[in-house]
Structure 1
Amino acid sequence: MIALITPTCPTPKATTETPVLISGAGPTGLFAGILLAKMNIPCRIIEREFEISPLSKALGIHARTQEILDMTDPSLLQEFMDQGFMMPNIHIYYNGKLAGEIKALPNKESHFKKVLYLIQNKTVKILADAFEKASGTKVDRGWELIDTKVVEGSSADGDSWVETTMRRAVVGTNKRAGEANQIFGTLELVEEDEEKRYEYEVVKSRYLIGADGGRSAVRHKINMPFPGRTRNVNMIIFDGILDTTIDLEKMNVINGNGHRLVAMLPLGEKDRVRIVFVKGFLEPEEFELQKSKPIIVEEFQQMLDDAVSPLQLKITKVNWLTYYRVNERRAQEYSYKGRIFLAGDAAHVHSPAGGQGMNTGLQDAYNLAWKMAMVINGTAPSTLLNSYSEERTAIGDEIIQLSSESLEGIWAGNLIQRCVRRVAVALAPIILRLVANRAPKMSMLGLRYYESSLNKSHKTQKASASDVGAIGCRARDGPLVPFLGRIDSGHNSDSESSHISNGPTDTSGKEGENRSNNSESDEGSNYDRHHSRTANNMTSDDTVRLHELMAHPGVFQILVFTGNLWKHRPAAASELVQSLEHYLAKWRSTWPSSGSLPVESNENKESLRPQFMVHVLTTVSASEAATAAQFLAARRNVVGEGKVHTDVGKMLHKRYGIDAAAAKNEGKGAIVVIRPDSHISYRVRGVGQSAWEDVHGYFESILI
C-alpha cells in the first residue's frame, strides 16, 4: 500500500540551482554523475541515506559493463578489478552429493571474458570516490526528495525547468518512526515525525534524473505508471558467514529436499556468501501474511537444515536476511515532459536471476548522460533526449523477459531438477548449451538498439542482412598497431622493405598481470592491454585495442575502413587526408565542444574536448603502400585526428562486416559512425568524397 501524503513544510530556507539534479546515490546515479562530470556538466547528487548501505545487493558486473567502465575511465575499471574476483565454476549438488561442475565459460565477444563479482557497497564506494574526483564535489547525503514538478516558463520564452523540494533531518536520520528496514517494496511519503526538526531546500534544475530505486519517490511524484506483475516464487535472501565443508569459493546450487533450491554465491570474503533460498510458491495474500512476521535466524537455519540434509550449512553470522518477492515491472516511459528521466530500478525491476539489474541501470546512465551533456552544451537539439526512453524501454523489456526466463528455468529449479538426475557427463552439455545460447544476452554484449531517429540506415545503400556491424549494434573491439608498426632493426621507417610486426606487447607490471587473467586469445590473435593510454605518447611499438582509442566520454568516433585500397591506389591516401581534414574541421566548427580535456604534451596544456574523433584502419603494410605510409605518418600522428592503424589480422574489418580484400577502388571500404555510448549509429560504403558528405548529412539530421 502506497501512502502519498506530501509533508506540509515551512518556507524553504534555501533555493539553489544546478544544471542536473540526480536523486539517488546508488550505482546508476553515481555513474550518471561521473559521466556528466567528465563531459564538463555540473551536477548535484542527493541521497536520503547518510551512509552507504552495508548490504551486498547487486554483485555481478557483466562484460558489456566492464567495457563501458573501461571506456569511461580505465583507472575506474582497474579499481573494480583490484577489489573484485572473476566468476567461479558452479558446483551442482543433488541428494547431498556433488553431481557435477559447470565451468564458467569465457565469452568470445569481448576483451573482458568473464563476469566480475563485487558486493554493491564496495561498488558504490568506488563510484562515489570517482564522482568526487571527476566533479570536485561529494554526494549530498541526508536529503530526501519530497516533491518534484516541471514548471512551464512564460509564453514569451516558452522554456521549462524542474523544481524539486527536499528535506534533511537536522538531528538523527531521515528514517521515520515505524518504517520497515527493507530495501524492497513500496514507498511511503508521510508527514514529519513529531519532535524531529528538518531543513528544507528547493532546487531548480534543467533536468532531474530519478535513480532512487524500486520505490522511487521521483516516479511516484510524476505519477508515472509502473505496470507489470508480481511473481509467486517465494524467496529468502541471506548474506552472512557459514560454517560448512562445501567449497564456498565456488558458486553452489543445491537441489534440496522438498523441491527447494539453495543457490550460494561467494562474496569475496572468507566464508561469506549470498544465499538465494527458493522455498516454493505463495499467493499474494500468503506472502503478505508471511512478510508481516519478521524472519528470525533460527527459523531460517531450520529451513536450510530441512532443505540441504545431509549437507550441513551452519550460520555463524548474519549481515542481511529478508523475504523477497520478485516484481517484473517497467515504467511506462523513462522520461517526463522532456525534463525528468528515470534510470535504474526506478525505471525497471525484475528477478535477480542473471544479475542484470545493476548492469542495466549503469547502461541507462551511459545512454542518457552523453545526450543530456550535448543538449546542455548546445551542440544538439533537445529532441535528442527523446531517444533515451525510446531505446531504453525496449532494452528494459528485453532484460525483464530474459530474467523471467532465467527465473523459470534455473531459480525455480525446473531445468536443474529435470537434468541433475543424470550423470555429470550428460548434465554438463545440456547446461553448457543453455549458457552458450544465452551468453551474448547474459553478458549484455548482444543488446542492440534498432533503427530510429538516432540510428539510421543509408538512404540508398541496402543494409546487410547480417547482424555483423549492423546499425544499433555495440561497437566491437579488436587489436590495432600504428600504421608503420614495429620496424625491424636495420630498416628505415621510410623504406619500402620495412614491415610490421604484430606480436603482443610487453604487459609486465600490475596492470598487465591483473588484465591477463581476464584476456584470452581471440580468433588467433594474442594481444594484451598496453600501459599507454594517451594519444601523444604512443610509439610504433604500441599495440592497442580499438576501445582504448575510444576512451573519451561524449565523443562521436568515426571509423574509416580502407582495407587494401592503398595497395591498389596509393594516391587515395592524400585524397582521404583532404576529406577527413575538411570534415573534421567542419564538424568541430559547426558543433563546437565546451570545456577542456587534459592532454599530456610537451607543453602540458589543456586542449578543447573533441566532439568528433576519426580513426583510419587499413590492412596493408608499409611495404605494400610506402608512399601512403610516408604521407600519412607525416600528417596524421595524433589519435582522433585521423591517425592510421593497421587492423591486425583484418579482424575489425570482419567484425564490422567489411570486405577488406575487395577495397580496390573508391566505392569500397566504409565509414562507420560510433555514437558516444559506443553503438553503431550510421554506416556508408566507400571512403571517397560522397561517403564523407553522407556522414555529414547524418550528423545534420540528428544534431540540428
Structure 2
Amino acid sequence: MPDTASTLPSPESPIDASTSVQEIPVLIVGAGPVGLLEAILLTKMGIRVRIIDREPHISPFSRALGVLPRTLEILAMIEDGFIDKFLAQGKSLQEANFYYGSRPRCTIPLGSIGISRYERPLLMEQERLSKVLAKELEEMGVPIEFGWELVDTEVVEFVAGTEESYVKTMIRQAVKPEDGEQEHQIIQSEYLVAADGGHSTVRRKVNIKFPGRTLPHKNVMLDGIIDTDLELKDAVTITGVNQKTLLIFGLSDNIYRIIVEMEDFTPEEDLRQINRELTVKGFEHHARGCLHPGTKFNVVKSTWLTCIRFNERRADRYIHKDRIFLAGDSAHVHSPAGGQGMNTGLQDAHNLAWKLALVLNKLSPPRLLKSYQEERMPMADRAIALSSKLLAGDRDQGTVWHIFRMLFLMLSPLLMYINSTSFPRLISMLDIRYPANNINLPHKTQTQPKEEVHQIGARAPDGLLLHFLPSASEDLPSDNDGQAVAACKAQRVYVQELTVGVGRFHILVFVGSCLSSLALFKARELELDQRIEEYLLQWRAQWNYTLSRDDKTDGQLVKVHVIATGDASESHGKGLLAQRAQGDGRLFWDSSAEVHASYGVPVLAKDQGAIVVIRPDSHIGFRVRGLDKGAWEDVTEYLQTILV
C-alpha cells in the first residue's frame, strides 16, 4: 500500500509531515457488537485489523436486548465453546405473556421446536454482549481503541497510474487532552468497515444516502427496579385499559425494562426537550394508566429513563468504491419490534467477514465482495418490513382496533399452535434465504427442489446425527475375510457442529441408504473414500490458507462429511469411513432420515444421493444430485466461481 501525502481536507485539523501514518488491512470504525464481531472474525482468519470508537468505553445503555436463534447458531459456529460465553451471561426467553390491563389473558411459548438447537431467544442486554465480545477480542491481542473518532475518509483511486486503490482515513482523539493538542493520525487501509451506528460519520463523509422515514410513535422507556403486584416473567405485553401498550421485560440483576406507549409526537415537539423534562413520577403515571385501578406499580430505582423515537431507513448502497462497507445501524435502522436490529447487524458482520478474509488472503477475487450488498440489503428490507408490521399491531387506531386486539386476547389460546410454529420461525430469522448469484449457484441442468428451505441460498438446516467412534481400548477382531472390525461407540453430533470454525467450506455428501446393506458396503465405501481423497488432494493443491491461524492449525479451506441413512447396526463397525475418528470424509449416520429430508435428499439407494456445499456462513451455496465423477466435477466448478 503506497504511502502518499494526505488528500483529506480538514481546516479544523491541520496535518503536517509529522503526522503518523499507519497501514492496516482493515480499519473498523465503531466498537459496538457489529464492529467487535467483525474484528473477531477477521482476526481468526488471519487478517490484521484496527478498531476505533469515539466513546470512552462501552455504553452502559442497551437498546437491544435479544439474541435470536439464528444469531446464536452463528456464534456457536465460530469455534467450540464460543457460544457458552454468551449463554452464561443471558437467559432463555421461554414465553410471551399477554395481559389486558392487570389481568392475564394467555401465554404463548416462544420456542422454534425442531428447527434449531437454539429454540428460544436469549435475553441479553447489548452492553453485556459487547463486553463478552470485547473480552474475546482483547484476549486475541487486538486492542479496542476507545476515544478515537473518524474525522474524514476517502478512497484514493488510480494509485501511481494503476487501477489500484485504497482507503485513506484521518482520525483524532475524541477529547482534547488538558496538556496539549488532540493527536491526529492517518490510516491507510485496504478496506474500511463502518459500524458506527445510525448517525454514521463514515456514511455521511462518503455521501451515501439514507432514505426512509421518521415514525410518529412516542415511547418512554425505563430500566430499573419496580414494586408491583403484577406477575412478571419473561416478556409481558399489556393491552392497556386506556388502549395504550405497556411492555415489560425482565433483565439481569432484578432490573426490568418497561416501555410505555404515549401519544404521537406533534410537529413542534423536540425530543431533547422531552428528555430533559422526563420524571420517574410522570412515567409511573402513564404506566398505571394502562392498568386496572388499584394495581400497584411503583418504580423503586431508575437506571435509565428516556423517550425514544423510531426511524425506518436503509442506505441506498452498502459499498463505496469497492473499499468501504456499511454494516449494522450505519446501513439500516428501524424500531426494536421483533428484536431484528442488532441481530441483522451481527449477521451483516458474519456475511462480510469471510468474504473480506478470502480476498485479503488472495483466495478469492475482489468481485466476491459485491455479493455482500446483494445479499444483505434484502435482509435489511425484510427486517424493516417485519418490525414495521409488528409495531403497527401496537398502534392506537381507535375503538375498532381496540376491539380486534381484545378479540385476539380472548381467542389466543386457540391460536397458540399457529404462533408457536410459523411466527417464531419468522421472528427467529431461521427462514432467511439469499437470492441466486455467483456464490449461490443453481445447477446448470438439474432442477431445484420445490421447497424453498432446500434451495441454494437458504440457511443450512441443523439436525441430529450419530458418529461411530472406534474404541481404542479393545483389540480389533477380524471378520471372515480377515478385515479388522472395530468395536465402536456411538456419539451424538449435530450437523452444525460439523461446520464449526470460521472461513471454511463444508461439503455434505448424502449417500442415502446405499451403505446400509452389508453386502454392498465395502465396495461402495471404498469407491466413495477414493473419490473424496482424489478431490480433496486436488482442491487443497489449489486452495488453502497459508497464514498462521491459531484456530486452524491445518489451514484447510474445504472439509468433507459423509451422511448415510438406514440401519447401521451391521455395517457401522467396518470400512474406511466408518472407523475414521478424525480427518475428512468421516461417516455420520442419519438414523431417522430427518437430516436427508431437511436437505431435500431422497434416501433410496437407487437415487444415488447428493452433494451439498455449505458456505463459510452456513448457507447452501450449491447442490448437485448424484455421487459420480460428474457430480464431483460440478462441485469443483462451483468452487472455482468463488476461489482463484
TM-score by length of 2: 0.91
Q: Is the 8 A contact 2:611 2:627 kept in 1?
A: yes
Q: 1:228 aligns with which of 204, 212, 218?
A: 212
Map 1:286-301; keep pairs closer than 5 Å: 286=269, 291=274, 293-301=276-284
**Aligned to 1:648, what secondary structure does the other structure show?**
coil
The gaps in structure 2 that reach 5 residues or longer are 1-8
Map 1:137-286; keep pairs closer than 5 Å: 137-154=142-159, 156-169=161-174, 171=176, 197-270=181-254, 272-286=255-269
Tell me how far apart the structure 1 counterparts of residues 414 and 472 of structure 2 sit (CA, whole Å).
47
1:419 positional shift: 5.0
Distance 1:199 1:245, change over 3 A: same
Map 1:228-627; keep pairs closer than 5 Å: 228-270=212-254, 272-286=255-269, 291=274, 293-310=276-293, 311-410=295-394, 417-418=402-403, 421-422=406-407, 426-430=411-415, 433-434=418-419, 436-483=421-468, 492=477, 540-566=489-515, 567=517, 569-570=520-521, 571-598=523-550, 607-621=553-567, 624-625=570-571
Aligned to 1:44: 50
Aligned to 1:693: 633
Letter in structure 2 aligned against 1:587: W
Distance 1:610 1:357, change over 3 A: same
Tell me how far apart the structure 2 counterparts of residues 456 and 304 of structure 1 sit (CA, whole Å).
53
Render the CA deviation track for 1:334-381: whole Å, top value 9, x for unaligned: 111110000011111011001111111110011000000000000000
Distance 1:400 1:196, change over 3 A: farther
Tell me how far apart the structure 1 counterparts of residues 396 and 629 of structure 2 sit (CA, whole Å).
58
Letter in structure 1 aligned against 2:605: A
**Aligned to 2:117, what secondary structure does the other structure show?**
coil
Tell me how far apart the structure 2 counterparts of residues 347 and 632 of structure 1 sit (CA, whole Å).
46
**Aligned to 1:259, what secondary structure does the other structure show?**
coil
Aligned to 1:535: none
Q: Is the 8 A contact 1:576 1:688 kept in 2?
A: no
**% of aligned pairs identical?**
39
Q: Is the 8 A contact 2:612 2:620 kept in 1?
A: yes
Letter in structure 2 aligned against 1:668: Q
Q: Is the 8 A contact 1:259 1:280 kept in 2?
A: no
Q: Is the 8 A contact 2:469 2:490 kept in 1?
A: no
1:257 positional shift: 3.8
Distance 1:410 1:494, change over 3 A: farther
Q: Is the 8 A contact 2:113 2:119 kept in 1?
A: yes
Tell me how far apart the structure 2 counterparts of residues 411 and 494 of structure 1 sit (CA, whole Å).
72
- The number of residues matched between the two structures is 628
Letter in structure 2 aligned against 1:304: A
Q: Is the 8 A contact 1:16 1:202 kept in 2?
A: yes
Tell me how far apart the structure 1 counterparts of residues 352 and 74 of structure 2 sit (CA, whole Å).
13
Render the CA deviation track for 1:309-330: whole Å, top value 9, x for unaligned: 5223211222222221111111
**Aligned to 2:632, what secondary structure does the other structure show?**
helix
Q: Is the 8 A contact 1:670 1:683 kept in 2?
A: yes
Tell me how far apart the structure 1 counterparts of residues 480 and 404 of structure 2 sit (CA, whole Å).
64
**Aligned to 1:581, what secondary structure does the other structure show?**
helix
Render the CA deviation track for 1:452-501: whole Å, top value 9, x for unaligned: 11101110111121124211111111122225688999995868999999
Tell me how far apart the structure 1 counterparts of residues 633 and 219 of structure 2 sit (CA, whole Å).
57
Q: Is the 8 A contact 2:111 2:424 kept in 1?
A: no
Letter in structure 2 aligned against 1:11: I
1:157 positional shift: 3.3
Tell me how far apart the structure 2 counterparts of residues 95 and 121 of structure 1 sit (CA, whole Å).
31
Letter in structure 2 aligned against 1:146: V
Tell me how far apart the structure 2 counterparts of residues 116 and 581 of structure 1 sit (CA, whole Å).
41
1:170 positional shift: 5.6
Q: Does 1:638 align with 2:582?
A: yes
Q: 1:67 aligns with which of 64, 73, 76?
A: 73
Tell me how far apart the structure 2 counterparts of residues 429 and 476 of structure 1 sit (CA, whole Å).
29
Q: 1:82 aligns with which of 67, 85, 88?
A: 88
1:623 positional shift: 5.3
Render the CA deviation track for 1:497-535: whole Å, top value 9, x for unaligned: 99999xxxxxxxxxxxxxxxxxxxxxxxxxxxxxxxxxx
Tell me how far apart the structure 2 counterparts of residues 445 and 500 of structure 1 sit (CA, whole Å).
39
TM-score by length of 1: 0.83
Q: Is the 8 A contact 1:255 1:413 kept in 2?
A: no
Distance 1:111 1:226, change over 3 A: same
Distance 1:427 1:637, change over 3 A: closer
Q: Is the 8 A contact 1:457 1:682 kept in 2?
A: yes
Q: 1:668 aligns with which of 594, 599, 608?
A: 608
Tell me how far apart the structure 1 counterparts of residues 397 and 62 of structure 2 sit (CA, whole Å).
24
Q: 2:106 aligns with which of 76, 100, 108?
A: 100
Aligned to 1:525: none
Tell me how far apart the structure 1 counterparts of residues 460 and 445 of structure 2 sit (CA, whole Å).
23
**Aligned to 1:145, what secondary structure does the other structure show?**
strand
Q: Is the 8 A contact 1:151 1:161 kept in 2?
A: yes
1:87 positional shift: 0.6
Aligned to 1:517: none
1:620 positional shift: 4.3
Tell me how far apart the structure 1 counterparts of residues 112 and 486 of structure 2 sit (CA, whole Å).
30
1:625 positional shift: 4.4
Letter in structure 1 aligned against 2:264: F
Q: Is the 8 A contact 2:567 2:591 kept in 1?
A: no
Tell me how far apart the structure 2 counterparts of residues 168 and 478 of structure 1 sit (CA, whole Å).
49
CA-based RMSD: 3.0
Q: Does 1:678 align with 2:618?
A: yes
Q: 1:10 aligns with which of 7, 14, 18?
A: 14
Tell me how far apart the structure 2 counterparts of residues 484 and 101 of structure 1 sit (CA, whole Å).
44
Letter in structure 1 aligned against 2:36: L
Tell me how far apart the structure 2 counterparts of residues 118 and 597 of structure 1 sit (CA, whole Å).
30
Letter in structure 2 aligned against 1:149: E
Tell me how far apart the structure 1 counterparts of residues 218 and 239 of structure 2 sit (CA, whole Å).
16
Q: Is the 8 A contact 2:469 2:491 kept in 1?
A: no
Map 1:118-133; keep pairs closer than 5 Å: 118-133=124-139
**Aligned to 1:281, what secondary structure does the other structure show?**
coil
